Amino acid sequence: MSDKSLRRLPLAAAALLVCVSAQADYTSPDGKFHMSGFGTVGYSRSSTDDVLFNYKGQGGGSKKSGSFHPDSKIAVQGTYSITDKVSGTAQIMTKYNAEGDYVPTFEWAFAKWQALPSLALRGGKMGAPFFMISDFRDVGYANTTVRPPLDVYAQVPVSNFEGVDATHQLSLGAMTLTSSLWLGEARADYTNSLSSAPATIKIKNLTGLNLLAEFDNGISLRFGHAQGKLSIGSPSSDQIKAGLAPALAGLAGPAVQAHAQALAAAITQDDDDASFSGVGISYDQNDWVLSAEYTKRRIDGGYVAETTGWYATVGHRFGAWLPYVGYGKVKVDDPNAVMPSGPLPANNPAVVGVQATLNTQKVSQKTATVGVRWDAKPGLAVKAQFDRVSKPANSYGMFLTADPVGDIAGGSQFLNAKKNINVVTLSVDFVF
């Protein structure tokens, strides 16, 4: 099958085909090679056509007409044991990306050395552990809800990093303490609007620490902190700056030149100190399930906003059925960059473009969730979920806008008004 054909292959049909035909959880006769996989076929529908609902950074999403794009994905993972202590793991995943396409990519590719029974060292491309469920955030079957709450998980649209980590486990009576230190760098493509090409997020000098305490009574407590140098390469920002080129080159008066320099600086994110911290709790015992996280994103400079996000989800099993409810919120603590004032008119294309870029960082919203999960059989779960997303005036929330520049030129009603958007999702999660 050609790459072009693969890009056009309906993901839902492909996932169902794999679900039906694949052998579950394969292990080679000598026990050295193990292969497994997972996937989701998800269909979501929003109550508005003004913006698109998606995972932050995807190049498309769902609206009134509905779409399989936001949640559908499939992955295969294999591990080969070279020796009793050394192994290699690779995971190939296909999900909707920033270019609005489905292309298989290596999500993980790392080597692991079990140096001691309590100490493991890894190197390569691994899941970036920014969140409580980072390692299985894409595995719908492993999660209660259809998707991780976006009020928290959309704050860092980076799913993996390249580098090294060290993990140590210590048993202390009824508690197991797992400590992880990780170093490296991360990058991801990201789409802010359908009218512009994807930007590239880069985080250099990335360091992180995670602490996970697991108790025999079903409670787990997690703390995580990561920091690095954040840069964003954006074709749309480059185009806006090109419109300011004459003034930046000194071909205009000093006041105009100073205004142009301030405008260009307002949409520049280059090697700025950034950090992300979070605490979380989960509980799964006696048919009750609970999870909650509280997170903060901090950035010293640039135009990406500083935010605080949190959520709480609780559910109860009744046999194979698990109804659940949840609530989450994300708010902008500091926009970092503000619109510079000066002699260039408000209708200047470059000025309009700067304002549009800054508006994409207005992401405050609240989400109320109710849903039900049905474990139809081992390895197969069906979910139905309703989300009511409320965003304040002067915010896009976590939605994708088709054309923020056009919205400004015409006076965006969605941006400027309070809105409640309903999102309904049906999904089938499977592991094999």
- On the question of pLDDT at 165 being above 50, the answer is yes
Residue 405 structure tokens: 């520049």
Beta bridge partners of 129: none
State the Cα–Cα distance between residues 320 and 378, nearest whole angstrom: 10
Nearest to 394 by CA among 370, 368, 419, 417: 417
Tokens 């090697």 belong to residue: 271
Q: What is the pLDDT of residue 296?
A: 98
State the Cα–Cα distance between residues 374 and 333, nearest whole angstrom: 38
Residue 153 structure tokens: 């998980």
CA 184 from chain centre, in angstroms, equals: 19
Evaluate whether 165 touches 178 at the Cβ level (below 8 Å).
Answer: no
pTM equals 0.91
In a domain, 277, yes or no: yes
Burial class (CB in 10 A: 0-12, 13-18, 19+), 392: middle
- On the question of pLDDT at 218 being above 60, the answer is yes
Q: What is the pLDDT of residue 412?
A: 74
Q: What is the CATH classification number for the domain harbouring 407?
A: 2.40.160
Beta bridge partners of 81: 87
Compute the average pLDDT of residues 299-322. 97
Residue 58 structure tokens: 């995807």
- On the question of pLDDT at 161 being above 60, the answer is yes
Range of the domain at 148: 40-67+105-431
Q: What is the pLDDT of residue 310?
A: 98
pLDDT digits (tens, 9 = 90+) for 423-432: 999 999 999 9
In a domain, 22, yes or no: no
In a domain, 97, yes or no: no
Cβ partners under 8 Å of residue 208, min gap 6: 129, 130, 180, 181, 182, 183, 224, 225, 226, 227
In a domain, 16, yes or no: no
CA angle 171, 177, 180 (to 5 degrees): 130
DSSP E strands, 286-399: 288-300, 306-316, 321-334, 365-377, 380-391
How confident is residue 248, by pLDDT bands cut at 50, 70 and 90?
A: confident
State the Cα–Cα distance between residues 180 and 207, nearest whole angstrom: 11
pLDDT digits (tens, 9 = 90+) for 377-418: 999 999 999 999 999 999 999 999 877 665 554 447 889 999
Residue 369 structure tokens: 């969730």
Tokens 């929330």 belong to residue: 397
How confident is residue 24, by pLDDT bands cut at 50, 70 and 90?
A: low
Q: What is the pLDDT of residue 407?
A: 57
Residue 197 phi/psi, 5-degree rounding, is -70, 155
In a domain, 374, yes or no: yes
Burial class (CB in 10 A: 0-12, 13-18, 19+), 182: buried
Q: How many domains does the chain have?
A: 1
Compute the average pLDDT of residues 299-304. 96
In a domain, 95, yes or no: no
Mean residue pLDDT of the chain comes to 92
Range with lowest mean pLDDT among 22-26, 355-359, 387-391: 22-26
Range with lowest mean pLDDT among 118-122, 268-272, 399-403: 399-403
In a domain, 20, yes or no: no
In a domain, 94, yes or no: no
